[in-house]
Amino acid sequence: MSLRPLLACWSVLLIPLLAKGEEAPIEVPYKLTGTKHVMVRVKLNGKGPFNFILDTGAPALIMTEAVAQKAGVKVEKGWAKLKLDVEGGVTLPEAKGLAIDMFQLKGMNALGVAGVELHGVIGYNVLARYRIQYDFTQDKLVWTPLKFEPPEIQRIGGKGDGGQGGLELLGNMMKYLAPLMGMKPNFAVSPRGFVGLELEEKKDVVTVKSVLKDSPADKAGIQVGDVIDHAKANSVERIEDVLNAASKLNEGDKLFLRIKRNGERKDLTIELGKGL
């Protein structure tokens, strides 16, 4: 008896089958924070966006009291009913959430170690409604809605803190470390300045493919066909080298470029503008 057909059979079974009537998967953007938490953005009752951590170690959707207030969520005995939108297109019209003072998040926010401000966690009572795929080699998660009503949870301890596992641990640690390290959180983001160049890369040579009219590059005198030799102090072989040289420049900052045109070297300075 040959084993081959049997093995083939098994590999077919291993492929996840789309069950009849299963809803379409939804791609949910996420960010891996500096503390290695999986963070998604949500809106609560249409307000936000707020930053929430996906946490199978939490029994429910939990938000800080401050966030609940900001979103105008009505809280009764700690629990609230609200509309939950997760970035990417997941919507729960009547999600149940806990509004409690989350010292764990406070600790992390005080230090800013996560790199973003955190407002809550999404736990079992929401997560269980979806089959969720995590893959850190991809920039989105995949949520497939299940036709499944998760059983109600039994809470232990009853102190309004359902035990948030590692999150709690880390938050605690942060609280102790913050004053020692003298770190201040910094969540501000500023837009990079605009240049107006389209580039082309051939055999370690980067040339200008197009220049947008009246753009900063245009004003600095860059022309189509110019070869970018240096960006800042760095020699350029890849388009990435130019992007890296500009990666921390804001509107109004200057980018030095050394170009070659018709065999001649030319130094140009571009004052970055507004736009993307």
Partner 1 sequence: MRTTLTTLMLFVVFTPAGAQDAANIKPVKVPFVLMPSGHFTVTVKVNDKGPYKLIFDTGAPTMLVSNRLAKDAGLLDKKSSTPLFSPLGAMAQAKAKTFEIGPLKGENVPVIVFDHPTVKAFSDHFEKDQGVIDGIVGFPFFARYKMEVDYQAKELTMTPNGYQPADVMESMMKMMLGGNADQGKPKVAGAAGQWGIIVEKDAKDEDAGVTIKLVMAGSPADKAGVKKGDRLLTLDGRWTESIADTYQAAGYAKPGKAVPIVIRREGKEMKLSVTPANGL
Closer to partner 1 by Cβ: residue 87 or 263: 87
Buried b (16+ CB within 10 A) or exposed e, 152-174: eeeeeeeeebbebeebbebbeeb
Surface-to-core class of residue 53, CB atoms within 10 Å of its CB (0-12 exposed, 13-18 middle, 19+ buried): buried
Closer to partner 1 by Cβ: residue 16 or 263: 16
Closer to partner 1 by Cβ: residue 33 or 65: 33
CB of 81 to partner 1, least distance (A): 18
CB of 11 to partner 1, least distance (A): 8
CB of 267 to partner 1, least distance (A): 19
CB of 5 to partner 1, least distance (A): 12
Helix (H) or strand (E) segment spanning residue 178: helix 165-181
Q: How far is CA 242 from CA 204, 211, 239, in A?
A: 13, 15, 5
Distance from C-alpha of 237 to C-alpha of 229, rounded to nearest angstrom: 8
Closer to partner 1 by Cβ: residue 80 or 118: 118
Inter-residue contact 207 to 228 (CB < 8 Å): yes
CB of 96 to partner 1, least distance (A): 12
Closer to partner 1 by Cβ: residue 75 or 183: 183
